[in-house]
């Protein structure tokens, strides 16, 4: 089954303790992206990756890191989490990100992070 898989689904942690949220897709997609969803603010893009070893900032990148060493994986890293990063996070992928023809994005089921 074609899917985007995020882990963990839920995490409660404390300020300053480094954490990583993993994202994996099995569709051989070139493009992957991370979003956060907050009440009243909708979905905002954190980082995206056009392909292996190619990453770029989205609209709200502060406090986050990403890496794309393999095509299928795109982990989100919070080096020193703070309470304002408490949110619902989604990973998404699409066939490609280049070119003039935007491709549909497929989302994972989300990771709810609570940082105390």
Partner 1 sequence: GENVEQHPSTLSVQEGDSAVIKCTYSDSASNYFPWYKQELGKGPQLIIDIRSNVGEKKDQRIAVTLNKTAKHFSLHITETQPEDSAVYFCAAARPYGNNRLAFGKGNQVVVIP
Interface with partner 1 (CB under 8 A): 4, 31, 33, 40-45, 48, 50, 56, 58, 90, 92, 94, 96-110
Closest to 90 in 3D by CA, of 31, 4, 28, 13: 4
Of the pair 4, 19, the CB lying nearest partner 1 is at 4
Smallest distance from partner 1 to CB 71, Å: 16
Q: Nearest Cα to 45, choosing from 109, 114, 105?
A: 105
Return the number of the residue (48 or 74) whose C-beta is nearest partner 1. Answer: 48
Instruction: Give the span between the Cα atoms of 28 and 81, in whole angstroms.
Output: 31
**73 secondary structure, DSSP code:** B
Least gap, CB of 80 to partner 1 (angstroms): 27
Min dist. Cβ of residue 102 to partner 1 (A) = 4
In angstroms, the CA 95 to CA 65 distance is 23
Using alpha carbons only, what angle is made at residue 100 by residues 52 and 53, rounded to the nearest 5 degrees?
Answer: 10
**Cβ at position 63, least distance to partner 1 in Å:** 20
Cβ proximity of 1 and 103 under 8 Å:
no
Closer to partner 1 by CB, 31 or 64: give it.
31
Choice between 79 and 109, CB closer to partner 1: 109
């Amino acid at each position: 089954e074609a899917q985007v898989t995020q882990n963990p689904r839920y995490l409660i942690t404390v300020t300053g303790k480094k954490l990583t949220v993993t994202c994996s897709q099995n569709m051989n997609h070139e493009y992957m992206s991370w979003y956060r969803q907050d009440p009243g603010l909708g979905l905002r893009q954190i980082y995206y990756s056009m392909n292996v070893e190619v990453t770029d900032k989205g609209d709200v990148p502060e406090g986050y890191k990403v890496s794309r060493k393999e095509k299928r994986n795109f982990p989100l890293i919070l080096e020193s989490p703070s309470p304002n990063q408490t949110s619902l996070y989604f990973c998404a992928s699409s066939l490609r990100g280049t070119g003039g023809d935007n491709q549909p994005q497929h989302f994972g089921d989300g990771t709810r992070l609570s940082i105390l």
